[in-house]
Amino acid sequence: MPRPLIVSDDETRAVFDLAKTGNADALNQLLGLFRPALHPVGRPFVPAALQAKVASSDLVQTTLWEAFQAFPEFRGQTVPEFWAWLRAVHRNNARTAVRFHRQDTRNAGQEVGLEGEVADAQAGEPAGELMDREADALRRRAFAMLTADDQAALRLKESGLDYAALAGRLGVTVLAARQRCSRAMRAWLAQVRKLGAD
């Protein structure tokens, strides 16, 4: 993927340097410069069948919010390093969102308890499949830890509703529906990370 022109731009470097000093306005400006360049980064990770449920604009918004929160820990010193870090965060968010939207499409009859997992592992089941099930269980636990409002917003979005229909169901504006879904997705991602770290 070619680098966006902003990566080598002197103005971008100046904004980046100011953001590194802790200036929140400069960081907002820096993230805004990279917003359009993030859209094509996540597309290859979202299958066509899920693109209606995993909106590029939602992924970008989540990535920018996370980048804003995590920027103080960013150790890079150059704009290209920042762009590489931002792309990595965005790709991770795209993969996580796809896994989230696929989790409800599994056949519940294929799920087994811990005894079944142990038996499968002893019977030579590939470790990757066992790890996938463990990751699915972690994501379900993270979802259960969300507030009822966040769960409802994510379930409605998962059902395939566009934001206008979602807004009607929630009794809010379209912008508020987008924000609620974005907030719910961020809360879910945070829970997934927290449970994964434990």
Q: What percent of the chain has pLDDT over 70?
A: 79
User: How confident is the model at residue 45, as a pLDDT?
Assistant: 76
User: How confident is the model at residue 113, as a pLDDT?
Assistant: 41
Q: What is the pLDDT of residues 137-164, one digit of tens each?
A: 777 888 888 888 888 888 888 777 777 8
Task: Walk me through the domains of the chain, giving residue ranges and CATH numbers.
Answer: 5-103 (1.10.1740.10), 126-197 (1.10.10.10)
Measured at the CA of 55, the angle between CA 49 and CA 58, to 5 degrees, comes to 155
